[in-house]
Chain A
């Protein structure tokens, strides 16, 4: 069964450093998403991406964050200058299509645990 994969599973970085989290969505999916979950808190939407453009982003997704689809398979989340409060699990998700009816389910990866020290 196809699945979303994410690398690395755990990333430790120092405050102020740049990190890139990588995701390989399911191959025939067209929409891609990043969510994050701070320890003990709820899963929060960060950004959605379609056709090489950001479709929507949350207030959390500020100028420190960027997303890219550098090739036909990878989808990345970059944090330019990490802060302590960026420590969280970051989940990538993909779906076949997203329309107004939101009729397609999202498939999530296992997550990358980011620890900023």
Chain B
């Protein structure tokens, strides 16, 4: 069954602006991961946050996790046209072998 739900479904911003995407999930997790998918390509891992972490940074990316609300957010600061892609959150229940459940994604368009 689907676990993550991203919000919004689509986001259009100008270069230099920040982009925030949200993800909600339903059951307990071991970790939550964010992936990017450029058009016609496979998904690329961006960042992982564990259930005992609240915030994580990687370059221009900032991820937060609120396990009490079962939600996460991905913030991309100072966006660039090259950030145009679909962004997916994926949850891992930690039940043994890594089994990620993906949301439907947020399509981000960054205009020059």
Do A and B associate with each other?
no
Chain B residues in the interface with A (C-beta under 8 A): none
